[in-house]
Amino acid sequence: MREYLKFYIDGQWVDPVELKTLDVINPATEGVCGKIALGSAKDVDKAVAAAKKAFKTWSQTTREERLDVLNRILAEYQKRFGDLAVAVTEEMGAPASLAQRAQVPIGMGHLSTAINVLKDFKFEEQRGPTLLVKEPIGVCGFITPWNWPLNQIVCKVAPAIATGCTMVLKPSEVAPFSGHIFAEIMHAAGVPAGVFNLVHGDGPTVGAALSSHPDIDMVSFTGSTRAGIEVARNAAPTVKRVAQELGGKSPNIVLDDDAFAKGVARGVATMMTNSGQSCNAPTRMLVPKTRMDEAITVAREAASQVTVGDPNGNSQLGPVVSEVQFNKIQKLIQAGIDEGATLVIGGTGRPEGLDKGYYVKPTVFANVTNDMTIAAEEIFGPVLSILGYDSVDQAIDIGNDTEYGLAAYVQSADLDKARKIASKLRAGQVSINGGGGDMMAPFGGYKMSGNGREWGDYGFHEFLETKAVLGYAPQAAE
C-alpha cells in the first residue's frame, strides 16, 4: 500500500498546505492500492514561487552544466527501472511486459534524445548585424495523463531541463505513482532546488491553478480535447504559451494489394496495444468495400489471438485504467451495436472468466460508416472500427473527415503509392507499413488534436523564446 502524502517543492519533500487525500485504485483488482495528497492553489503558489526563484540561476547555466544534470537524471532513472515498471502496472494496468518493453524505456529514450540534441543545439545565430538568440521561456506548468505516464512526463521535462526552464509537474491523479518516483529520481540526481517541482492533484484544482497562474510562462498539457480547451481558456487571461497534445481518431488506410492481409492484421495488433489507450491509436481502419469480408476474417482471427488478463501474468492486454473509462467504453460499444455496425468479435461486458477488474473484450466492428458514434468519438479502449471505401480518393476524404488530426496510417505493398497518400492525410504523424520508433520525429496534431510539437529537437523549440539583438555587429561603413 503506497502512501505519497508529500509534494516535492524547492528541492524538498514538503507537507501540503492542507491535507486532503485521494485513494488510488488498482484497475486489475478494483481495490485501493495507495493514497496521495491532493494539492490546492496554495501548494501551486509555493511550487511556482520556487520555480520562479530557481529560473534566475538555472536559465543562466551552460550547456555543459545542463548536460551533466541530464546524464545524472538518466543514470538515476536506470537505477529505478524496476520500481517504475511495477508502479506503471499497478497504477494503470499495463501488462508487465509492456511496462518493461515500452512504458518505462521510452522515458529513457527521451532523456537520451535530449542529451544528444543538446550537445549540438544552436541557441544563437548571427544574421548580418543582428544576433538571434533562443532563450528559455521561463517557468513551465506540466499537466500529464495516465495512459503513457512516463512518456508524457519525460518528453516535457527533459527538453525543459535542456533549454534552461524550470517547472511544476502535476501528474495524473489516476496514475500518480510513476510520477512520484520520477520526482524521487530528480532529487537523487541532484537537480538544483526549485528547477523541478511536483504537486499532486486533480485537474479542476491544481491543473486550473497551474494553467491560470500569472507566474507560469508556459503550460504544456496532454490529455483529452475537452480538458485541453479548459486549459487554454484558463491560460488566456495571462497570454501564456499553451502547448497541447490532445485526442485522436486516426485513420488506417489499407490498400487493395498483396499486403492487404498483413496490413489488416498489423492494424488490429497496433490498435489493441495498451488496451487501446493511446491517443494516436489507428481506431478507424479503411478497407476496399470489395474486400470487407476478407478484412472481417483476418481481423477476427487477429483479435481472437489477443489475450486479456492479469497484467502481472502473460496477458497482452490488461484492464483499462478506471471504472469511469470502463463504463464509457461499454456505452460506446453498445452505441456501435445500436447504430447497426457489424460486431465481428468482442462486445459489451468483461471477457469470459474475468469477474473483477476493468477488463474490456478486444472488440472489432465492421461495415462502420463515418457518421456513426464509434467512428467519430475517441473511445480510448480496445475497439476497432472497419470502414469501407470505393476509391483511394474516397478513403483519403473519409480519413480526413474528423475533427482530429494527430496520426494516420497507410498499409501498402507499393511504397510510392503509400507516400502519395501520406502526403494528403491531415495529421501530425503518418506511419507507413508499421514505421515508428523514431525518437527524433516530432509528435503533435492538426485541428482539435492540439498545437505544438514534442519529441526531439522540435520539442526544444516549444520551451524557447526568440530574441533579436539589433546592432549586435557594426555594419560596414559605406
Q: Which residues are catalytic?
A: 245, 279
C-alpha cell at 437: 520508433
- Residues 250, 74: Cα–Cα separation, whole Å: 33
- Residues 35, 76: Cα–Cα separation, whole Å: 25
Q: In terms of Cα–Cα distance, which of 337, 345, 254 is closest to 303?
A: 345
Kindly give, in sequence order, each residue whose CB lies less than 8 Å from that of residue 101, ignoring residues fewer than 6 positions away.
Answer: none
- Residues 356, 354: Cα–Cα separation, whole Å: 6
Residue 351, phi then psi, degrees to nearest 5: -60, 155
Tell me the CA distances in angstroms from 236 to 106, 219, 325, one per residue in order.
32, 11, 30
Residue holding cell 532529487? Answer: 187
- Residues 46, 10: Cα–Cα separation, whole Å: 9
Q: In terms of Cα–Cα distance, which of 272, 232, 275, 283 is closest to 404?
A: 283
Residue holding cell 492481409? Answer: 261
- Long-range own/partner contacts, residues 462-465 (CB < 8 A, 24 or more apart): 462/159, 462/218, 462/220, 462/241, 462/243, 463/136, 463/137, 463/140, 463/159, 463/160, 463/163, 463/165, 463/218, 464/123, 464/134, 464/135, 464/136, 464/137, 464/163, 465/134, 465/135, 465/136, 465/137
Please state whether beta strands 2-4 and 31-37 pair in parallel, antiparallel, or not at all (unpaired).
parallel
Q: In terms of Cα–Cα distance, which of 343, 360, 345 is closest to 308?
A: 360
23, 3 Cβ separation under 8 angstroms: no
